[in-house]
Amino acid sequence: MKFDELKKGESIFIDANIFIYHFGGQSDECKEILIKCAKGDLKGYTLTSILAEVLHRLMIAEAIEKGYISGRNPVRELKANPEIIKKLSSYIRNVDKINEMNIQIIGLTKELISESGKIRRLEGLLTNDSLVLTVMKEFDLKNLITNDNDFNHIKWLRICKPSDLL
């Protein structure tokens, strides 16, 4: 499914990579989807765990971009050099911008986490992906905005992927 096939007022679930591509300037389509959410043209949903993943990945990207780490094993390098982390700030500002995008941020509950185990057993997904599906089912969401191929075998999903990645 293409991004322009989404109709005004539709609900979408936004995966972590869409935020990453937007903040990294890698996709105008991802930027447009988030603008449509901010305007209220689309109803966006995501998870607190996705925000944590976005924070983590943007922190690493910022450290690499600023030349503080090499990127071969970025987590190990950051753990060994906590002073670097103290110098980073744009990743936090970017994730804070998500709060201004009119996207409903869903918190994980022990019930959702428990229910996600059924999805893992049924669909063979990893933990974070099973949480996405669990929340989508709970909120009756069919449209998943992602670039993750791990969802391709889920028949009831309408997957929308960016086609303009730089």
Q: How much is the average pLDDT of 125-132?
A: 97
Q: Are strands 143-145 and 158-160 parallel, antiparallel or unpaired?
A: parallel
Domains of the chain: 7-160 (3.40.50.1010)
First to last CA, the chain: 19
If DSSP codes are grouped into helix, strand and coil, which group holds residue 133? helix
Query: What is the Cα–Cα distance from 158 to 116, expressed in whole angstroms?
Result: 19
What is the pLDDT at residue 166?
64
Give the pLDDT confidence of 28-83 residue by residue, as tens digits: 999 999 999 999 999 999 999 999 999 999 999 999 999 999 878 999 999 999 99
Residues 6+ apart with CB under 8 A from 96: none
